[in-house]
Structure 1
Amino acid sequence: MTRVIRARKAQITKPKLISRLALGDDGTVSGFVFDPDAPEHRFTIEILLDGLVLKTAYAAAFAPECSELDRSNTCGFAVSIDIELLHAARHLSARLANLGTPVGNPIDLENDTTFRADLRPTCKLRWLGGLHFQGWIDSEIVVTLEAIVDGESVAQVRATAWTHIGGDAEGGASRNVRAFDFHVPQRLADGRVHRILLRKEDGEQIPAAATFVAFPDGLAGMIDVIGGYAAERLRGKLYDRLIPASLPLHDYADWRERFPLPEPQPSPLRLAVVIAGSSGTQQTLASLEAQSHENWTAGAIDGQPLSIDSDAMLEFLEDAAPDADYIVATMAGVSLERTALARIAAAFDSHPDALALYGDLDFLTDDGRLWPLAFPAFDYERLLEQGYCAHLFAVRRKALFAAIETARPNNLYRLFNSLLDQIGPLRTDILHLPGALATMPKLDRTTAGALLSAASQSHLRARGIHANVTQRTGNFFPAVRIKRPLSKQRVTVIIPTRDRVSLLRRCLETIAPAVERCHADILVVDNDSAQPQTIDFLSDLSRRGIRTLRIEGPFNFARLNNQAAATLDSDILCLLNNDIEASSDDWLEEMLTRLGEPDVGAVGALLTWPGDVVQHGGVVLGMNFSVAHAFTDRFSDDPGFLDQLLVAHECSAVTAACLVTRRNDYLAVGGMDEDRFAVALNDVDYCLRLREVGKRIVLTPYAKLIHAESASRGSDHRADRRSRFEHELNLLRARWGERLNDDPAYNPQLSRDGVPYSGLAWPPGRRTPRYNRPPVAHDLPLGF
């Protein structure tokens, strides 16, 4: 007799939950779910409209309601739902994914309005890596917060800055909120997992928390110290790339001691030092006496600050330093670091093709605190408008003599830029030495500005460019504005669009004065608009002299611009998003004048949110091994780090939300890569490919527009689009490799987490001498 054993059907035990479901007036669905029998469990929630799953959420966010149930307070969730979908539905509900257990009470969308509440997020805390945190709180006044790590108060945080939030990532309408940025003490970099909370001065805990782990000098460095784990070092390096660490800028003095520059190799080179100006000469001579490099001769040229006498300089060099092959020129009052001359000599030894070099500087404030003047690799546009690298530099003797005899410079700014009189702006043989060579005295910006203005005017005239040079008011350095002649070229503004006719209408209305001023054309690229009002609006554009081009298929920003460029015969293309608004009539002219230099491949603009917080101040490579817009923590009237928002300067990339480029250059590099970067990062890749063929990328703050970023297509951080964005980011990393982590327009001593220019890298990147040379892309076959 055969026994038949039947398996009993497994019973799925549904957890006993404490939960809530709520809906805000702005379409935010929020709640929490907690299992008292298994408090460590976190659940995936399905959000349903009329019984159909619309979105999913992971319940691991901070929820104040959980404070009495769960010590970590992380059992909450929140998602944003389109208001139009809610109006068309009858019931809203939530359940545990796979189990079907209800979460909270269902909401009757037709009849019940008691559930409505303002559920907009009121604050946010984000771990940026290492000991660095950033966030915001919805408040009109400055708020002081207390950072609590594992129950211990470790830092006071003042929300004094501003940032712009709203849309898919934060929920609710766009608005400006108070922002904060802080670091916790270095003792917490112990390789252990910590929990951080924030509370107000009155003890009220705010709904923001984060978990973090930090390693002293990075995980790769920790693995080296421990030893025996060499095989894991690659994993450590990858971790440090993706989650870099930083320290605040005000800790610079301690940071310098922790990460001293390596001692340079001894050099037999003889240097001659020329000190320009009378005031502060003794201070500079005293720092020369302490130099570790002993083979030098120095002479001071008396006169006004930064001024030189060409004849006196030549006489000194011929009489007192006939055997000095390299000349160091510096303003009086500079205090050189002990190894400054040794580093300069070693750099020329290791780079025999270098024409000239300059290095970073330090600045000592009246309260005795040291701050870093961390510069980029050579930036011609910034040299003309700020003279940033002319306060201390070194140059080959032959090149210096030739420049003096031809240009007869009378100040340091003209002495430096005269090296470029006969060759042009794209110099790949000017070295930048990361790490301070000296401490710089306070500048008389009015006097320095007049000298810089005259120097830049003379240099451009020597190159045959009769530009208008206007002195501006700098915050730290002098500042001038260069306006080159506007050439007569055919310009077309390309605006891709899909429905959202209100955005397009506003865009066209506000850019019209600038377009008319430059005699430009407009091409609206319609990508499958379907709404009747949009179709009517587009059909009427021809009557206003605006061309349209219809392109069908899925949204592919690169393809839309490529096909538009292929149909045109214009000399210049202006790529413009349909969610751009102009606030002046000279922005386009300003961008076009920057293309007056033949080696400029693309020009970008300063873009702000509607609340005047900066949305784009250039693109910085390498932030969390990705890319980031600069100065998004500031208002547009802020001078920026070392006055960068006051002058035009080079970037590795700018956004195509407003980008001007030559059509020939666009076609020569194949336009944007529509196969690999259909939606995001196509502008970054395009700019890098322009740089690969020897073109410069310039951002001008004098072209300022408003950009409601992603108002048309939505945020790349939405759950349904995140995987596509991550795929395109990985392709960018694969194509550009280490160049993505070594931005020549960014200093290796500055942080690579959070917003650029907001901290010090911990540890710093490579501080070896570097040129501003074109990047080289890796071959990237399709499908990988």
Structure 2
Amino acid sequence: MAKPSANSRRNVAAPPRASTAGPTILGFLDRIEEASLAGWAVDPGDMSRPLSLRVMIDGQIADVITCDLDRPDLHQLHLPNTRVGFHFAIPYLYQDGLRHVLSLATMDGQKVTLPARAGFALPELHFCLTRRVHVEGVLDGLVDGVVQGWALRVDERAGLKSGGLRILVSTGGQPLAELLADQFRADVAEALGADPCCGFAWTPPASLHANGAKTFDFHVMPDRIPLRGSPVELRMPGTSERARINALIEKADDLLRYAYGLRRDLRAVLPAETFCLARYREWAAQSQPLVPARIAARYGAREDSPLVSVICPVYRPEQGAFIAAVDSVLAQTYGNWELILVDDGSDDARLTALLRRLAGDCERIRVETLPANRGIAAATNRAIELARGAFIAFFDHDDLLDPCALDAMMRAQAATGARLLYSDEDKIDRRGQVSEPNFKPDFNYRLLLDLNYICHLVVVDAALAREAGRLDPSLDGAQDHDLLLRMVERLGGHEIHHVPEILYHWRITERSTAAAGAAKPAAADAGARAVAAHLRRRGIAGKTARRGALTCYRTSFVIDDDPGVSILIPYRDHIAMTQQCVAAIREVTADVSCETLLLDNWSQEADAERFAVEQGNLADTRVLRIPEPFNYSRINNLGVAAARHPFLLFMNNDVFVRDPLWLRTMLNEALADPGVGAVGAKLLYPNGMVQHAGVVLGVGGVADHGFRGLPGDQPGYIAHAIASREVAAVTAACMLVRREAFEAAGGFDEADLTVAFNDVDLCMKIRAAGYRIIYAADVVCEHRESLSRGDDFDDSKVARFMFENEAMLARWGRELAVDPFYSPHFSREGGAYRDLRVIDPATVERVAPQPPERFPRAVARAAGTVPGRKRRRGAGSA
């Protein structure tokens, strides 16, 4: 440890006194060791109680120390008592080999300088400590053309296994690349109880694609520790293969040059800075100062200022983080609040003294101590009982509120009339560094069944919180998810409002769920029970199970109704492919009565007639010949006119099913809620990568598929790729539609959208008619995209595509710009869930109160969909 950064000779004939630049504190720093310091300090203005000091490391509150250790050696100073000593061990977090700065301050934030031995004084202390750790990791080898592996830094003393290591790739002793092992690996987290963000992937650069094999070494830096499985030998494409690939690349490059030049010219006209998610800290530095202005533009002013009760259960917090949490409430720009701190039987004298001091210093802070530790649910229940405000804000004892958080929520409440409001959030570490932003969708009931995406910050009508009932202690860890579900049961969707700004910073600690979802499996199990209880209250039979190591669930409905489904499959030639598609449906599909309508759009292949005759002679199969130019919308509209059943399944002939319950699962999503108009599936390319996981409006112009190219088993952004959820649209490559919703929307557009965007247009019309669109993440099919009709972007089709693009922009321009299930902070340029943009407050539109939706309850009318109730017209007869 380095010496103090400043020095001054002290007068040994008098009691050592702190610098006059800050408050007058008597004290002395008499020991500085490798990872700790000790001394004594007292406030001469108030010697009746021990002095408490903030310990600041790198400008953040690391802890609070109380000077109450007995120091009999201080008799000669004639102090009222000798219990004035302190000892502080530097937290393991800061023993990372980097330089840090430590200083002391009073509880009100005034810097304290203490004299030390050899004449030094301590305004601040610079130190650099190194942990004792080792590395574990494995090179998995070549997976889907990419070298994959994982690496962990294992600290046995702290019980931590963390990712984020640097991996050096080299060949023949020459470095090629440096990787960061921070990709999500749920399998490693579940097997080892480790940080899931520990994986890496690497593709050899084109310059190394010479014929023959090459050997690559993978080392963990900076100590060059080889991974297990390294080195690895890879065989590159041969000369003829490379020539063919290069020819294709040249053709693609011609298109890319044109597209790039056009995009460059357009961006020059309307420049906009974007940040990738990895640059979130830079984005936050520019965006967060604009939050108050955006809030004012979006919601306007509020005439009244109702009391907001900020309730905070407290149980043995790190004192530095706790003080910072309280400070963030004290710093609120909204003036009418109270902070209720309920100590859940911590039995900690330091904490008790601190709570007493906080309540004494601020009359708006109220403290209650429970006689024994009863759990977070019981402590929160007591806080709700004590709350005097018209609204309640839920707050954890080590998190931080943005200074305008309460003002933003209360302005939003006045503008919308909402009774339950929530904001976006991110995570913050002990150094004050923010990361992992959670940009949330607007209210999404279906997602809430699979994931407590709402989480923080939540502000609710106090009457609603009490009406929903007490929090359940048996669900501690997921008690907030359970309470949210019970409140949602009592609300219409228009009474729930999302404030799309980062207003809450969730503290990352080594053991918290903020650090890793796998850290608290009991909380995830409690969450699954909470969702199951909610379904029982709704009268819907369902099953809920955890998804691996994540705090995310698979919620599936178990419904017996079988109203019947008509499967419509257009095709033109590609007879073998179509036959495989139909055969898979017939062989696999279980538990649903269905008919298949094959819509033959002028097939010309030699075996087309034979195929049509064979299929037409099969039970529940009909072939409709449509000898017209290709018009996807018209073909399907004709098919619907001939269909017999109340549910319609639109399907491409290059989609293949394998799960026997694929159609039952989609149908049950619709039967469970009469407000659901359409259900889409998760589609994967043959190589297992995502082709479709819901449609995002406005990305790339009109719309784009979410998570295209993501490995099929990966969760995606905030688990959106694996959780079932409401979306703005889904692809008609595999889409179940309620017939009454199809008819209310007027069917597919045959005039202006003959090929592209017709499914997006249909979904938007279905939503305009008052229905919802669901992405069913657990219905997984293979999609060999566009084999039937070819590529939209060849020379003969560019004009048609551009016309359909303009038709969508003219019809839905305003709606395409604001997808309610996709954060406005994401850029619409490039791919979905990738880049961020800083929103200019001048461009923010004022929010108006939402009218009640067609199905006014957020959970819709469950009474008409109780399992086992047979209805001839199916769920459509609301």
TM-score (norm 1): 0.65
Amino acid at match of 1:250: A
Establish whether residue 632 from structure 1 lines up as the match of residue 708 from structure 2.
yes
**Do the aligned partners of 1:421 and 1:462 also contact (CA within 8 Å) in 2?**
no
Larger radius of gyration: 2
Q: Which residue of 1 aligns with 2:665?
A: 590
Q: Which residue of 1 aligns with 2:404?
A: 339
Q: Which residue of 1 aligns with 2:225?
A: none
Q: Distance in 1 between matches of 2:769 and 2:438?
A: 30
Q: Which secondary structure does the structure 2 equivalent of 1:565 belong to?
A: helix
Q: Which residue of 2 aligns with 1:579?
A: 654
| Counterparts of residues 148-547 of structure 1 (less than 5 Å) | 239=270, 245-259=273-287, 260-263=289-292, 268-276=305-313, 278=315, 280=317, 282=322, 284-300=325-341, 308-309=376-377, 313=380, 316-319=383-386, 321-322=387-388, 324-351=389-416, 353-364=417-428, 368=433, 370-404=435-469, 411-422=479-490, 427-441=493-507, 442-443=512-513, 444-473=519-548, 475=550, 477-545=551-619, 546-547=621-622
Establish whether residue 609 from structure 1 lines up as the match of residue 685 from structure 2.
yes
Shift of 1:650: 1.4
**Do the aligned partners of 1:498 and 1:526 also contact (CA within 8 Å) in 2?**
yes
Q: Distance in 1 between matches of 2:499 and 2:461?
A: 16
Establish whether residue 742 from structure 1 lines up as the match of residue 742 from structure 2.
no
Q: Distance in 2 between matches of 1:608 and 1:362?
A: 30
Q: Distance in 2 between matches of 1:767 and 1:438?
A: 23
Check 1:723–1:736 CA distance in 2 against 1; reply closer, same or farther (3 A cut). same
Q: Which secondary structure does the structure 1 equivalent of 2:607 belong to?
A: helix
Shift of 1:262: 3.3
Higher mean C-alpha deviation, range 397-406 or range 646-655: 397-406
Number of residue pairs matched?
559
Q: Distance in 1 between matches of 2:429 and 2:576?
A: 50
Amino acid at match of 1:520: C
Check 1:754–1:218 CA distance in 2 against 1; reply closer, same or farther (3 A cut). closer
Q: Which residue of 2 aligns with 1:552?
A: 627
Q: Which residue of 2 aligns with 1:683?
A: 759
Q: Distance in 2 between matches of 1:571 and 1:279?
A: 58
Shift of 1:555: 1.0
Once the two structures are superposed, what CA deviation does each residue of 1:429-486 show, in whole Å capped at 9, x if it has no partner?
21111121111244145233223212212222222212212222354x4334233424
Higher mean C-alpha deviation, range 458-467 or range 750-759: 458-467
**Do the aligned partners of 1:329 and 1:412 also contact (CA within 8 Å) in 2?**
no
**Do the aligned partners of 2:286 and 2:838 also contact (CA within 8 Å) in 1?**
no
Q: Distance in 1 between matches of 2:660 and 2:279?
A: 43
Check 1:709–1:406 CA distance in 2 against 1; reply closer, same or farther (3 A cut). same
Higher mean C-alpha deviation, range 401-410 or range 379-388: 401-410
Amino acid at match of 1:539: V
Q: Distance in 2 between matches of 1:409 and 1:568?
A: 50
Shift of 1:359: 0.6
Identify the match of residue 659 of structure 1 among 732, 735, 738.
735
Q: Which secondary structure does the structure 2 equivalent of 1:462 belong to?
A: helix
Shift of 1:519: 2.8
RMSD: 3.6
Q: Which secondary structure does the structure 2 equivalent of 1:650 belong to?
A: strand
**Do the aligned partners of 2:376 and 2:473 also contact (CA within 8 Å) in 1?**
no
Shift of 1:375: 0.7
Q: Distance in 2 between matches of 1:499 and 1:687?
A: 28
Uncovered stretches (5+) of structure 2, i.e. residues with no partner: 1-143, 149-165, 167-176, 184-199, 204-245, 346-372, 514-518, 855-878
Once the two structures are superposed, what CA deviation does each residue of 1:158-194 show, in whole Å capped at 9, x if it has no partner?
998799xxxxxxxxxxxxxxxxxxxxxxxxxxxxxxx
**Do the aligned partners of 2:574 and 2:788 also contact (CA within 8 Å) in 1?**
yes
Q: Which residue of 1 aligns with 2:59?
A: none
Shift of 1:390: 3.0
Q: Which residue of 2 aligns with 1:171?
A: none
**Do the aligned partners of 2:698 and 2:817 also contact (CA within 8 Å) in 1?**
yes
Amino acid at match of 2:281: A
Once the two structures are superposed, what CA deviation does each residue of 1:58-94 show, in whole Å capped at 9, x if it has no partner?
xxxxxxxxxxxxxxxxxxxxxxxxxxxxxxxxxxxxx
Check 1:480–1:392 CA distance in 2 against 1; reply closer, same or farther (3 A cut). farther
Check 1:661–1:553 CA distance in 2 against 1; reply closer, same or farther (3 A cut). same
Q: Which residue of 2 aligns with 1:568?
A: 643
**Do the aligned partners of 2:424 and 2:457 also contact (CA within 8 Å) in 1?**
no
Q: Which residue of 1 aligns with 2:791?
A: 715
Shift of 1:360: 0.5
Uncovered stretches (5+) of structure 1, i.e. residues with no partner: 1-137, 145-154, 164-203, 220-235, 777-784
Once the two structures are superposed, what CA deviation does each residue of 1:705-753 show, in whole Å capped at 9, x if it has no partner?
1111110001111111111111111111111121111111100111212
**Do the aligned partners of 1:503 and 1:579 also contact (CA within 8 Å) in 2?**
yes
Q: Which residue of 2 aligns with 1:757?
A: 833
Amino acid at match of 2:480: L
**Do the aligned partners of 2:552 and 2:723 also contact (CA within 8 Å) in 1?**
no
Q: Distance in 2 between matches of 1:698 and 1:524?
A: 25
**Do the aligned partners of 2:377 and 2:472 also contact (CA within 8 Å) in 1?**
no
Q: Distance in 1 between matches of 2:669 and 2:810?
A: 31
Higher mean C-alpha deviation, range 505-514 or range 760-769: 760-769
| Counterparts of residues 67-216 of structure 1 (less than 5 Å) | none
Q: Which secondary structure does the structure 2 equivalent of 1:349 belong to?
A: helix
**Do the aligned partners of 2:706 and 2:832 also contact (CA within 8 Å) in 1?**
yes
Q: Distance in 1 between matches of 2:783 and 2:592?
A: 21
**Do the aligned partners of 1:648 and 1:699 also contact (CA within 8 Å) in 2?**
yes
Q: Distance in 1 between matches of 2:793 and 2:330?
A: 56
Check 1:298–1:217 CA distance in 2 against 1; reply closer, same or farther (3 A cut). farther
Q: Distance in 2 between matches of 1:512 and 1:332?
A: 56
Shift of 1:698: 0.9
Shift of 1:542: 2.9
Check 1:569–1:393 CA distance in 2 against 1; reply closer, same or farther (3 A cut). same
Q: Distance in 2 between matches of 1:655 and 1:661?
A: 11
Amino acid at match of 1:482: S
Shift of 1:501: 0.3
Q: Which residue of 1 aligns with 2:197?
A: none
Amino acid at match of 1:272: S
Shift of 1:416: 1.1
Shift of 1:288: 1.8
Amino acid at match of 1:704: V
Q: Distance in 1 between matches of 2:397 and 2:267?
A: 40
Q: Distance in 1 between matches of 2:622 and 2:438?
A: 48
Higher mean C-alpha deviation, range 272-281 or range 763-772: 763-772
Check 1:218–1:501 CA distance in 2 against 1; reply closer, same or farther (3 A cut). closer
**Do the aligned partners of 2:312 and 2:383 also contact (CA within 8 Å) in 1?**
no
Amino acid at match of 2:676: V
Q: Which secondary structure does the structure 2 equivalent of 1:504 belong to?
A: helix
**Do the aligned partners of 2:692 and 2:706 also contact (CA within 8 Å) in 1?**
yes
